Structure 1
């Protein structure tokens, strides 16, 4: 989407600075795209090798969704990626822009189908709804619309796409800030900083709003997950409301928190929009149905803390931009450099909340994790398989990060003089 914006602005204004930035970031995108394809394909194989029982149970849902992703997302990306990367001098400017837009659309389709599949695991339609049936231990879909637009999908899709935009923007902003701190202040870098600050300001605030709606959705459809996020073991006293626990060390074995620091009424206010509203608590659910509380509790707080730092960075940057001093305040620039990878950390933390918070269920309230793996494999088999995946992924990570950092350190070259910025 960043590349679409840059090329669109170049077509409209003909200012070389936008094409300079496009040519710089398209190299970064190409490497990330390649890593994503190689690492993502593995998951489809694991459905058969490591999770065969899960595939037997829900293959009628996840199988078609993978096919739909290939037909829509992969075909678009495969058809236009070559033009985007290598066709600059072989097709017209508008056709090249169209190719870039189609690749962006393909990646968005990919996000949609992946989240449809994951949302089925998080909030599947109930058997009472008639949208699905279970026949001979396998799910049979009766209403595909209930799968394609499940109870949690809209807000989760919006939350994830906004998170991806924020992640990219932070990397762009951090790269520009790093170069400015090193004395490189060419037009392309200053334009990159200015554009990324504006985008960050709006998407970070929007993400806070979407996150609030996401929390309300979890409260309605996955109460055990919400209870682990909030870390409340006991119900709140009548009329007092539930506090928001800023810091605590959850003790799952003894069903209590150690060293708890709380803000009175805040959890009730956020989740019920009332100071005295009741929220679900962990002891309400059987022990065997509770997720790992400590991991979910802290992953959520890391994500939220990083999210508010992003809002602060965006607001600070907009203030500096309004004063026409953007790029001169070393405090903001250092913050931008430190926050460069913050989007990645926030996304990982968010997925830890999502997946660990669903435990012990593989398909929420339908199939447990210990019912879904391939029983034919021994613990040794699965350990070896996992170890090989880790080794391959680490090799890809090392080589990928090495090349990406090399690109970031080079920085964009500007062919534009100062007066034309």
Structure 2
């Protein structure tokens, strides 16, 4: 009995360590964003740049990540998960050092685009590894647990970044990001096993890659579900790029006070992700998703009314933001799991499309905050537009809100397994990989 208990504790500890490792990888883009965030006003002054230009050092990173995931996803399906991960994080270290040496805002923007391209490897591989090992509600729960780890970034990264910038100026933040990347390289090299067996790897020639992407683009339901996390990140990034100027310039908070406010909103993301992990044990992910988007829409409308009327001052703004951001933990993970469900045989490519849309959509939408004036009204209007587009995409591209139609997606009940099509595809690829002698 004691041996069984010891084995159980060891398995649980290994599982926790594995989740922490994947969470740290998936959080790298968020840490790269949030540690730098409090320095935006200082960077604008130091490099003599406009608010919109400095905000594009954030949005440009997202656009780079969008392109990077399209390249890295198929690469990971061809060569496994470890190699692209190690290459990507290593180049993240190099670009972080170069960012610290940048002489002007234009160079910094391009380096941030490259940084987003390279650290995209961390997020796309983390999602692909989950799909290699889990499906259905199990995958949704694991993604929600990862959100707990990822959510630590908004809680602590701005405070750490502000402390570093306060002591050694904003350029030192990028040296810290380089050290974090180096630590992740060592962790992956030492502790992360390969999750994609050679028999399940896909051809990596351009024709096969294009064919894989084309099959995904033709799947209207997949594309609709895949764009939902992107619109969700657009909600978050619109808040992220606008909040330093709104809270520090419009409401007069110091950098330290802003870091505390930012952390409080991070609690909303972490808490809702854990709520989602509990909910999908009892309800299919599509049921949680369809209700959460409607509630988020109502909260976003209420937030707009708050900033237009000034109701409650900064406290009213905080409550409204907390509710809108909090609902995000109930949407992105569930939409991703539903989109990936039938594509386990090409999880890296499918995860790349989701991740690319996530970064690309957010990177295209969030600059509108600065272009529309950069104040609280502009920030909230862009957030509201992103939530409305989420509702529209689900209504038009999926049967989620059609009478009885959403039940078509209700196959993701707790304990659901890989689809027949997915299983058949995997079997076919394994047979193909055996060669003609073994098949005969």
Q: Which has the higher helix share?
A: 2
Name the TM-score, length of structure 2 as normaliser: 0.25
Higher relative contact order (Cα pairs below 8 Å, separated by 6+ residues): 2
Q: Which has the higher strand share?
A: 1
